[in-house]
Amino acid sequence: MNAQEIEQKLLQGPYHQWLGLKVQSAGEGEITLLAPFREEWVVNAAGGYIHGGILATLIDLAADWALVAWTGKGVPTLNVHVDYHRPARGDLTVKAKVIKRGKLASSAEAWVYDAEGQLVASGRGLYATPAQVGAA
């Protein structure tokens, strides 16, 4: 699937639409998403930084869709781990890559960068990839 096909499929979800996601690039097992800043994401008005739940969402989404770029089909999340590195502000870029392709489960990692290109969060997820969705 190319970036345009993935974005079309991704934006079928109302939550993904609300997030304003755009697929910048996609390849087999890799994806880069842009998440334009939304005021509703701010958790601390004085600090102006983005809630960690949004960052966790973006990590799960990007890791999951890196697998979709490979399988062509949705993959259910089994587990996600997130590390927060610094407060996030502004537009966010999320990069993800499949780490291990398995017959029953696959793993992928994701990194979230702020508008200045600084790493604000990273994580990894485990996703169900039964044989019928293309796992090798």
pLDDT of residue 107: 97
Mean pLDDT computed over 103-111: 95
Residues 6+ apart with CB under 8 A from 115: 37, 89, 90, 91, 92
pLDDT of residue 71: 83
Q: Which amino acid is at 51?
A: H
d(CA 122, CA 136) in angstroms, rounded, equals 26
What is the pLDDT of the chain when averaged over all its residues?
92
Q: Which domains does the chain have, with CATH numbers?
A: 3-133 (3.10.129.10)
pTM reported for the whole predicted model: 0.91
User: For 121-131, what is each residue's pLDDT tens digit?
Assistant: 999 999 998 76
